[in-house]
Structure 1
């Protein structure tokens, strides 16, 4: 953060993400889609342990993405991929085929995964200095 000379802090302007960061976020988005697909198959097949496994896998991806990229965007990218994939999988097709049943476990997977995405994006560390001896309160 810069100061304006009078002691108040000025926010730095947003910058375009680097190529590596954009590739990492795109990879996390695609990984979120894969975890959603795998979770949708596991949660109904091995109920109730499969539901727990699918939600823990999603939470691990969301929080792990935030830790790896050291930003909340690392949790948001796989969460968006996960949510879009799950929503697309819940839509029924004209043939009558759909992947999710009408049971309570499907709703817990859908709503619980979305809640976990919000929680992990909130808990994901914001941008902080990497040095331990920096005073953040000043």
Structure 2
């Protein structure tokens, strides 16, 4: 049956995700938190190169997760872990310790990382035509 006869993707019934997919998304959440932690430490240490390295690592994880899972949830899962870790690390402790300074680099890391998460999550994956209905290579 061709995809045109089934209706849009939104009209299809929801399917339960497999255990492997759930495990992969959970691993991406944990990786997102680790990249957020590493980026927090690196971005202030080697400014501006550390900031660019931290943002490139976050973008690579978001986009790589999306490509690996073949869906937008692969970008949303590490972005969620990243945001939770970074927001958690911005809070000061009662002793007065904190990881983020009040400099512009910290704000660029926060806002730039969130912008990259949104960009990678909304970046459309290209849909390939099915081989039976398309004339590939001609």
Q: If the length of structure 1 is used for normalisation, what is the TM-score?
A: 0.86
Query: Kindly tell me: are residues 124 and 32 of structure 1, through their superposed partners in 2, closer, same or farther at Cα, counting changes over 3 Å?
Result: farther
Structure 2 residue ranges without an equivalent (≥5):
none
Partner-residue secondary structure (3-state), 2:102: coil
17 and 108 in structure 1: CA distance in 2 versus 1, 3 angstrom threshold: same
Where has structure 1 moved over 6 Å in runs of 4 or more? none
Q: Give, in angstroms, the shift of residue 60 of structure 1.
A: 0.2
Deviations, residues 79-130 of structure 1 (Å, cap 9, x unaligned): 000000000000111111111011000000000000000000011527x457
Tell me if structure 2 keeps the 8 A contact 1:79–1:117.
yes
Q: 2-side partners of 1:34 and 1:43: how far apart?
A: 14
Separation (CA, whole Å) in 2 of partners of 1:22 and 1:129? 25
RMSD: 1.9
- Paired residues for 1:44-63 under 5 Å: 44-63=44-63
Aligned in 2, Cα 1:92/1:134: closer, same or farther, shift over 3 Å?
A: farther
By how many angstroms is 1:132 displaced?
Answer: 5.3
Partner of 1:119: 119
Q: Give matches, 1:13-92, under 5 Å.
A: 13-92=13-92
Q: Structure 1 residues 106 and 3, CA, compared in 2 at 3 Å: closer, same or farther?
A: same
Q: Which runs of 5+ in 1 are unaligned?
A: none
Q: Tell me, in whole angstroms, the C-alpha distance in 1 between the residues paired with 2:43 and 2:133.
A: 45
Distance, in Å, in 2 between the alignment partners of 1:113 and 1:12 is 33
TM-score by length of 2: 0.86
